[in-house]
Chain A
Amino acid sequence: MASNGSHLRGGVAIVGVGQAGLGEAHGKTEMEILVEAAKAAVKDAGLSMRDIDGIATASVGATMWVMPVAEYLGIQPKFVDSTMIGGSSFVSHMLPAMMALEAGLCDAVLVCYGSNQRTSTVGRAGIGKVRAVLDPQPYENPYQPLAPITSYALAAARHMHQYGTTRTQLAEVAVAARQWARMNPEAMMRDPLSIEDVLGARMVSDPLSVRDCCLVTDGAGAYVMVRADRAKSLAKPPVYVLGNATATWHRQISSMPDVTVTAAQESGARAFAMAGLKPSDVDVLELYDAFTINTILFLEDLGFCAKGEGGAFVSGGAIAPGGRLPVNTNGGGLSCVHPGMYGMFITIEAVRQLRGECGERQVAGAEIALVHGNGGTLSSQSTALLGTAAAL
């Protein structure tokens, strides 16, 4: 019988994080900003790039991406993972790395990502055209849903119909994210944003307006994982991986059994079981908010409120600074950074919160963080629970 993986709890720690090229990285390639982030993460850990013997990465465009990354860095890795499941990839990369480290197959795994989709000459539209050929969805593409916005819009519309969720409640998510972003010097969008601004913004795919949608930015991020015994002697306080699980129930929105219930229900339950924790133990949440409906769906599916009550849960500034639950404290994909795949950046923010490095936006006394990555069209869900030494 399958185990819940609790023997892996706390065996591995994230010991270094780094970011580069956030916002607009003019004149730099994806590889260049990825490597800048990787160097920053390795330095943050007090390690050298020569210490890295495992690499996990993924790219929107390059299917064999771990090889050019290893080649560029001059590393001949003992462990590679190039699994690409969309934006959640860099959360889901934790578990295979933990297993490889625990098994002693390698000693230090670098998880890394970079994208210059905002400033690149090959923009989102170009990638979309290529994907339609290489990754066809012949039962959806002819109807021209905007990829991926319309799929999320269909989920939002159904959630509104079924549970009475309102556009104002969706707007609460965007406004809360902006309020957090205003306290993050690295966030791209830091102007004030009101509920009215969101409701009055240009509609893209009803019921989602442009302010219900994440940013399109450049950016790179990286983190380094080592076994817990080694982590204690490195430069920064270790952030232990207490649980990680990934679930997928569909690829295309028309094949999603119920568009108001995501596989986060399963990934969350498994990650909590591995960690031996429950939602009320969590001090800070970093949820993949590609669209405002995501945050509501994930709060429900991860057990922070009942199904259908996510809209009411986020109302009245409840997830904004000073609210009842700190969610997306970097400003989220909605207001901080979103270079195509965002799972890397929620992981980095959670690590920084648990180290107490977040300045004005620091959640006081944060010991346990939940990171939740999403990919495709609500298609891949990966949940991680991270904790300080006090959480072990």
Chain B
Amino acid sequence: MPQSIPAVTDPGPDKQYAEALAAGQFRIQLCGGCHRHVFYPRNICPHCGGDALAWTTPAGTGTVYSTSVVRRKPDAGGDYNVVLVDLDEGVRMMSRVEGIAPAEVRIGMRVKARVAPAKSDTEPALVVFDLVGEG
């Protein structure tokens, strides 16, 4: 008689996050126990140890917490920006700010998230940030 191998069919938070992102949706988690937001996606709350984590769509707005310009030769693609952004929900993530010269990004700038679609198998869909209009 063939043995059946127990199979887990529901994907973990990593895969759920990536699948939503590939579909153009940026989601973070909210802990039902301590009501704090969580990023990156997990199956345990790092604040309270609970596991009642639910997906939520963040406002997408945030503030540049720190910034660096990675120097790269022009023929390799030129300089690029790396930032840490604090989302208004209180979580921090690494990203880059687009639409502005890498060295012009400043700590304290207000930014808004956008999902950049996957460019290839090696560069998946990514959350990047644009400056919030001065208006």
Contacts and interface: CB of A to CB of B under 8 A. Distances in A.
A and B part of one assembly: yes
Interface of A: 138-140, 142-146, 150, 153-155, 157-158, 161, 202-207, 252-255, 259
Given A142-B123, A145-B94, A205-B71, 16 more contacts: A139-B93, A140-B94, A143-B96, A144-B70, A144-B80, A144-B82, A154-B82, A157-B107, A158-B66, A206-B103, A252-B94, A253-B84, A253-B94, A255-B40, A255-B92, A259-B66
A290 to B, nearest CB: 16
A360 B96 CA distance: 48
Contact of A145 (B70, B92, B103): B70
A139 B92 CA distance: 11
B99 to A, nearest CB: 16
B30 to A, nearest CB: 18
Contacts of B39: 139
Contacts of B68: 145, 150, 153-154, 157, 205-207
A140 B126 CA distance: 10
A150 B107 contact: no
B16 to A, nearest CB: 13
B71 A204 contact: yes
Contacts of A143: 82, 94-96, 126
Nearest to A154: B66
B82 A150 contact: yes
Contacts of A146: 70
A154 B96 CA distance: 12
Contacts of B96: 143
Nearest to B14: A138
B124 interface: yes
B124 A142 contact: yes
A154 B71 CA distance: 14
B70 A254 contact: no
Contacts of A254: 84, 92-94
Interface residues of B, number: 25
Nearest to A252: B94
A157 B82 contact: no
Nearest to A136: B14
Contacts of B83: 154
The 10 closest A-B pairs by CB, nearest first: A153-B68, A158-B66, A154-B66, A206-B69, A139-B40, A254-B94, A161-B107, A140-B94, A157-B66, A205-B68
Contacts of B123: 142
B107 A158 contact: yes
Nearest to A139: B40
B55 interface: no
B81 to A, nearest CB: 9
A150 B94 CA distance: 11
Interface in B71-92: 71, 80, 82-84, 92
A153 B82 CA distance: 10
Contacts of A252: 94
Contacts of B40: 138-139, 255
Contacts of A140: 94
Given A139-B40, A143-B82, A150-B82, A205 B70 contact: yes
B29 interface: no
Given A142-B123, A206-B69, A206-B103, A154 B80 contact: no
A203 B71 CA distance: 7
A204 B68 CA distance: 10
25 contacts: A140-B94, A142-B124, A142-B126, A143-B82, A143-B95, A145-B68, A145-B82, A154-B66, A154-B68, A154-B82, A154-B84, A157-B66, A202-B71, A204-B70, A205-B69, A205-B70, A205-B71, A206-B68, A206-B103, A253-B84, A253-B94, A254-B84, A254-B94, A255-B40, A255-B92
A153 B80 CA distance: 14
Nearest to B102: A206
Nearest to A260: B66
A248 to B, nearest CB: 13
Nearest to A208: B68
A390 to B, nearest CB: 44
Contacts of B124: 142
Contacts of A153: 68
